Amino acid sequence: MTITVAGHKINVASFDEHFTCEQCDEIRTQIRKKFTPAEMTEELTKLSQKSTRTHNIINYYTRELLWDVKSEKYPLSMNDCLDSDDFLRHIKGQVDNDLYKISSNPKFSHFTLAQRMLQLLKLEGKNMRVAGNYPINSVKNVLSQHKGKNKVYYDYSCGWGNRLLGSMVSDFEYLGTDPNHKLVEKLKMMYNNFKQIKGSAKADIRCQGSEIVVPEWKNKVDIAFSSPPYFDLEDYQYGNQSIKDRNYTRWLEEYWKPTVINIKLYLKEDGLFLLNIKNTKEHALLDDMKKIAISCGFYYHYSDVLKTPTRPNVVARAGKISSDEEILVFSTLDVLDKSEATIKRLEEIEQAKIVDFNNRQKYYEEVYARHQEEIRIKKEYEDSLVTVDTNEWKKTIKSMKKYKKRKRVKAVPPSKQ
């Protein structure tokens, strides 16, 4: 059937028409429930004591803005879907049909209906895609390789708060730029509350694009690291976004190139420039942005890997594929003076490549062995057609059943030949 959500018509296979407006309102209220200031402060306190949980903090400060994100490819935001009774009835139908095993999976057995529907909303992936928040552990791991006194970190695309939090708990001074005025306001509130808990925290967050220079940051930054916009993949709705009135070529020239030039201006002589990006089906973002960085005077040294979980809906549609992204490391020095932590990390990367190669070799060997076994069983079956010995034929069929998902021939009893 077809439903209309925020002016967009979408076809749905699952739909619970008996789910009332009152029930939709109740689910909507439960999903949008905001954590209290006390719960947020408790998590901030634990974070300052080396915890890595930020769910309550993000929920309190930036989740509402995160759920406003949409794009040309994904025309609906999370808030659009929550506002629609029909879309909630569609999600309720998916829960009833046990899509992605949300209902039958023991992991979700203690979930309420609202929690199960929220999980499916996050996995919708066709008309709506929830913007991801950067893993705080990844931020801490990157910064831990460059620790020292009075270190300064520049985040050239602020995101939803985890890079700010990761910087403050890692004892870095945080510099950030983002054109989303509503987001910047929330991040400043987050910083001020954290500073009350940890007085040594420092941050300077500017409401502007990274392509606009900040003269007072010249030669101040030890490490510039962020995950910039993937061109038009996401529209953050507020502020003068980098994609506004720009095609891909203009975006690279008018947003990314000035950003790189500014980063070079901000970095100390031995500072590092890190870029977390990957190519998409539409654009060779990694390749093009890397070329521009090199053309602006940076040397590319190596790539680290950002491990990200593959969404269950992606696995269901395309099989088990990797959603990992690269973190490219640049500097203005042609030879990188690597710290012990960096050298150790490079060794880990090389070891991971070896393990990955061995795993792939093992997989190919298993596929080849299965193929050879199928050939053997097929030949055994064809040989069995020569005789009418029913017992021998039954043995062959029994053997073939182990590979029924891969068999290429249909077994016919001798009595029916």
Residues whose CB falls within 8 Å of the CB of residue 319, separated by 6 or more in sequence, listed in order: none
DSSP 8-class letter at 253: I
d(CA 277, CA 288): 11
Q: Which CATH architecture has domain 136-337?
A: 3-Layer(aba) Sandwich (3.40)
Q: What is the pLDDT of residue 411?
A: 45
Residues whose CB falls within 8 Å of the CB of residue 287, separated by 6 or more in sequence, listed in order: 279
Residue with tokens 């490219």: 328
Identify whether the C-beta of residue 249 lies closer than 8 Å to the C-beta of residue 295.
Answer: no
The percent of residues in the chain predicted with pLDDT above 70, rounded, is 76
Give residue 322's pLDDT band: very low, low, confident or very high (50, 70, 90): low
d(CA 411, CA 417): 11
pLDDT at residue 409 greater than cutoff 50 = no
Give residue 360's pLDDT band: very low, low, confident or very high (50, 70, 90): low
Q: Please give the residue that has the higher pLDDT: either 79 or 408.
A: 79
Q: Please give the residue that has the higher pLDDT: either 168 or 318.
A: 168
1-8 CB contacts, 8 Å cutoff, 24+ apart = 3/84, 3/86, 3/87, 3/90, 4/86, 5/76, 5/80, 5/81, 5/84, 5/86, 5/87, 5/127, 6/75, 6/76, 6/80, 6/83, 6/84, 8/75, 8/76, 8/127
Identify whether the C-beta of residue 54 lies closer than 8 Å to the C-beta of residue 43.
Answer: yes
Q: What is the chain's mean pLDDT, rounded?
A: 81
Q: Of 171-185, 250-264, 403-417, where does mean pLDDT reach its minimum?
A: 403-417
DSSP 8-class letter at 319: -
Q: What is the pLDDT of residue 383?
A: 67
Helix (H) or strand (E) holding 165: helix 162-169
Q: Count Cβ atoms below 10 Å from residue 113 Cβ, excluding itself.
A: 14
Name residue 225's beta-bridge partners: 274
Phi-psi region of 47 (alpha: psi -120 to 50; beta: other; left: phi over 0): alpha
Residue with tokens 């989303």: 180
User: Whose CA is closest to 325, among 338, 308, 342?
Assistant: 308
List the structure tokens of 280: 């998409």
d(CA 70, CA 371): 45
What are the angstrom distances between the C-alpha of 209 and each of 181, 241, 247? 11, 8, 17
E strands, 128-285, are: 152-155, 173-178, 203-207, 221-226, 267-277
d(CA 176, CA 208): 9
pLDDT digits (tens, 9 = 90+) for 154-177: 999 998 999 999 999 999 999 999
pLDDT digits (tens, 9 = 90+) for 35-58: 899 999 999 999 998 888 898 999
